[in-house]
A and B are shown apart, each in its own frame.
Chain A
Amino acid sequence: MSEPTAIDAFYLPAWLAVGMETTVQRFGPPHDSMDLRLPVVSSNDIQRWIEALRQARAERLVNRTTASILRSLDRVATRFLDSRDSARCSAVAALERAGRFSTPMIERCLDDAFTPLVRGGLRKWLTAELGSASALDRPTTVGGATRAAHGPEWMLHVYAGNVPTVPIWPLLSAPLLKSALLAKTSSQEPILAPLLARTIAEVDPEIGECLAVVWWKGGAAELDRAALSDAPAVLAFGGDVAMASVARQARPGAALVLHGPKLSIGYIGRHALTRSALPKLTARAALDVALYDQQGCLSPHAYYVERRGAVSPVDFAAALGDALESFAWTLPRREPTATEAAAIQMARAQARFNAAAGGERAYRGGVFASPGGTHWTVVCENGARFEPGPAHRSVRVHAIESPEEFERAIAPDARYVEALALEEAGPRRASLAARFAAMGLPRIAAVGALQQPSPLSTHGGVGRLRPFVTWTTVESARPTVKTPARPAAPVPAKPPASKPSARGSRTKAGSRRRSR
């Protein structure tokens, strides 16, 4: 099955790659593995690369104008959207061979990641976060404040492999911030990020000099330490244990953005539950479920559906099943592993058991499942609870009475929610959105739009660029200092209790605040 040629699963600037020892490793399940060429990484290499990247950034990137960087990155994004371009073709071919998603899904996933960046998208992104697209070039005045932004000298990124396109925006964010980048890929998906870096280098060799994208085995303590111990900025995705380890090893004062495990959910208000709206509503919900086979943090695992709509929660569940059935053909999923399928079968059997034998969650007749396979599963149950499902297009529909019931169930675990897909008709949508926003959920989206976040929005509730930026504020207002009027009669001088600090802050009028 596997072809004789190994895929290069790393990117290093040519002069760093010279003399680099590489090894070919087999990735993926034994029956369908592929050979990837990887550098043999030592902690010395990592230190050498970091030094070289810093130097390249100083010489080739930091003094570039943002406009010229945007032009290059726009060109890169455009190439990944052009189905005839070699970058796009290589990405599709490599991800196909990796076998984690079906081809229509891969095409869709690349379109979704790159489309928002072209035609001025990158500029809008920068402007949305920094107030001005030229904030990294020179002091700019926004809203009365004049400030210059600085990206970190270099960034360390640690990517996850659950959805292949997750590294795309982070990787581009480094040159956008005029920062060098050392990125560590995931063994689950070590292909796309190096390919993106290589394409950037093709389009703009100067930026390419400032990027390194490599893989080393997770938990290799010495290598992790070499990468982390001096990084001024770290963006990492992964499980709780990995994130805790990054936080522990990062240098004090480093800008850390750590994305731990999350999932998404949906809420359907009763006014949205009409017969006429149902087919389109469930088609949109099914798209959110189907995209990326619930492998991403934007994938919904459960819909909380209000009772007392014209359509009951169980009818919503049935219609969602029908919609998932049609996506089984138009947007097929990747075949789950035996273990994953066994978990789906267990969840199905348990749902049937609940339906049969009663109990607090029983919803008789509420189990909908694709015939002849685990392609999709919809289970309707009474009441709200928060728990991830076995994924691969398995969702629960919770019949609930009220938003309070939803809030009670979700609030204790709200930190695990990345986004909420909210559907309700009329002004009640806004009031529900306000309620759920008050829970601190990072994103509230329309049903069907969960998987299309905007680069202008946040990820996990924090900005994509801002957390890594430091600022120089340039103040120009000269204080008017009034010469104090001579007192009519001299007041006997009282020695101060302690000498005011020379660094004591001044009030606007310039008088010294008494330090205590």
Chain B
Amino acid sequence: MRRAAPPTPDLRERIATASWNVNGASPTEEFAALPLFQHQARVIQPYAAYLEYLAVTPGSVADWRDIPPVPASAFKSHYLSAAPPEVDGRPGSPGVVFETSGTTVSRPGRVRLGDTGLYEASLLRSFERHLLPDGARLRAIVFGPTREEAPRSSLWFMVDRVVREFASGPPHHVVRGGEPHWKIADDALGAAAADGEPLLLLGTTLFFMATFERLAALDRTFLLPPGSRAMDTGGAKGLSAEFARADVAAAFERFLGIPSTHLVNEYGMAELGSQFYDDALLAHHEGRAPLAGKRIPPWVRTRVLDPETMEEVAEDTPGLLVHYDLANAEIPLAIQTEDIGRRTGDRLHLEGRLLGSEPRGCSLTFERFLAEGRP
């Protein structure tokens, strides 16, 4: 099999220069994913076999919508990467290996990247736009572990990368050795409240809510200086840890003094190089009302399919999400998820579990095999 060079430099340039239209409408520019798809169809062997099984000839695909997505669960069963085999996640091996959670096979999936350049270009650009539109460079508190402590986590890789790029000074990490060290959080929050220096907080919604539960039990609050902001991730989906968005926002305001204009929820997954963010802070910065939903980056497309027929549904209709991400250079760019949402223009609205679909009674379902969130 020919190992042609991926069209990565070109993609990095496109991600760096893609323009963010601001009216919320569907993108009109061409989504040039076919060269990357055809490259992947050559170099990712299991994907090539899958295409053959589906009787899809890569060269004859003329529209990005016809690129067959891989099921996210296939990262559990197959070596689904163009990265060389020496990218194996062992100490000293090149590149990174992220582990995923998912639903259909119990072992975790593995996302192998020999070169994280494109991934980093994507995550930095989206984060800066949605969390730091004012160009602020803030002290950061990570409500989670360091990258070294969680080397298999795409989330903590991302957080590490953004705080190295954008934070002023070294970040505080609240989780050390797998345990929360609340004093680190209390000290950093207290110091910021006292000296008036705004903070950047990053973590999972679940962990933030646990933090607030603890503060409530202690009857303690912090009033962080204006300009402080938080990125929380998760919480819009998942089983045990689902919170109403309004409750999360109210808790940030009450315990930290962070208003909802400065709280930005992120949606991402290890199988995607790109992330999707709320509009709250960007809209506040631009002095306009926030658009509902999360921004689909210009180098990403999301199709919403009827989960029964797998046909694309009309705009603003809920369905199963399939993402096409140009930041996925070494892993297939088209990913079929189990997430349900709807798309309006360039915004994605994620839906949690439907009312009435509580975990079932005496029937054992694969919900109990479902690992929570993104590791």
Seen from chain A, the residues whose Cβ lies within 8 Å of a Cβ on chain B are: 27-30, 33, 159-163, 166, 186-188, 218, 237-240, 259-263, 294-297, 299, 335, 337-347, 349-350, 352-359, 361, 372-374, 387-391, 416, 418
Contact = CB atoms under 8 A, between A and B. Distances in A.
A259 B368 contact: no
Contacts of B105: 350, 387
Interface stretch (B17-25, B208-216, B332-340): B332-340
A264 to B, nearest CB: 9
A355 B360 CA distance: 31
Question: Which of B47, B49, B73, B360 has the largest number of chain A CB atoms within 10 A?
Answer: B360
A261 B319 contact: no
B354 interface: yes
Contact of B361 (A29, A186, A358): A186
Interface stretch (B169-177, B217-225, B271-279, B307-315): B307-315
A54 to B, nearest CB: 28
Contact of B308 (A29, A341, A355): A341
A239 to B, nearest CB: 5
A263 B367 CA distance: 13
A294 B318 contact: no
Given A353-B74, A374-B308, A261 B49 contact: no
Given A261-B368, A353-B50, A356-B54, A162 B363 contact: yes
Contacts of A238: 361-362
19 contacts: A28-B356, A163-B362, A163-B363, A188-B361, A239-B359, A259-B362, A262-B363, A297-B364, A342-B339, A342-B340, A343-B103, A343-B104, A349-B71, A350-B105, A355-B53, A356-B49, A356-B50, A374-B307, A390-B104
Contacts of A374: 307-308
B52 interface: yes
B360 A345 contact: no
B357 interface: yes
Contacts of A350: 71, 73-74, 77, 104-105
B284 interface: no
B104 A347 contact: yes
Q: Lowest 4 A-B CB distances belong to which pairs?
A: A160-B361, A356-B53, A341-B307, A357-B46
A460 to B, nearest CB: 8
A353 B78 contact: yes
Contact of A373 (B308, B337, B339, B368): B308
A344 B73 CA distance: 12
B364 A416 contact: yes
B123 interface: no
B77 A354 contact: yes
B338 A339 contact: yes
Contacts of B338: 339, 342-343, 345-346
A387 to B, nearest CB: 7
B366 A390 contact: yes
Nearest to A261: B364
B70 A263 contact: no
B93 interface: no
B353 interface: yes
A388 B364 contact: yes
Contacts of B353: 339
Nearest to A159: B361
A162 B363 CA distance: 7
B74 to A, nearest CB: 5
Given A342-B340, A387-B106, A263 B363 contact: yes
B356 A352 contact: no
Contacts of B319: 338
Nearest to A364: B53
B369 interface: yes
A162 B336 contact: no
B355 interface: yes
Contact of A240 (B340, B354, B368): B368
A27 B356 contact: yes
A300 B218 CA distance: 49
Contacts of B368: 239-240, 261, 388
B72 interface: yes
B213 to A, nearest CB: 16
Contact of B366 (A29, A353, A355, A388): A388
Contacts of A390: 104, 366
A353 B357 contact: no
B366 A343 contact: yes
A372 B363 contact: no
B175 to A, nearest CB: 25
B124 to A, nearest CB: 31
Contacts of B336: 345-346, 349
B286 interface: no
Given A162-B360, A297-B362, A350-B105, A339 B340 contact: yes
Nearest to A460: B362
A159 to B, nearest CB: 8
B340 to A, nearest CB: 5
A29 B73 CA distance: 28
Contacts of B50: 352-353, 356-357
B57 to A, nearest CB: 14
A346 B357 contact: no
A238 B362 CA distance: 6
A344 B340 CA distance: 13
Given A29-B356, A343-B338, A353-B70, A294 B363 contact: yes
Contacts of A261: 360-365, 368
Given A162-B361, A335-B308, A352-B50, 11 more contacts: A29-B355, A188-B358, A239-B359, A262-B362, A338-B307, A341-B308, A343-B103, A346-B104, A350-B77, A416-B364, A418-B362
Interface string B273-300: 0000000000000000000000000000
Contacts of B47: 357
Nearest to B357: A337
A186 B359 CA distance: 11
Question: Which of A297, A347, A357 has the largest number of chain B CB atoms within 10 A?
Answer: A357
B201 interface: no
Contact of A339 (B357, B359, B363): B357
A338 B364 contact: no
Nearest to B351: A338
B320 interface: yes
Contacts of A299: 363
A299 to B, nearest CB: 7
Contacts of A187: 356, 358
A373 B308 CA distance: 4
A186 B358 CA distance: 10
Contacts of A262: 362-364
A237 B366 contact: no
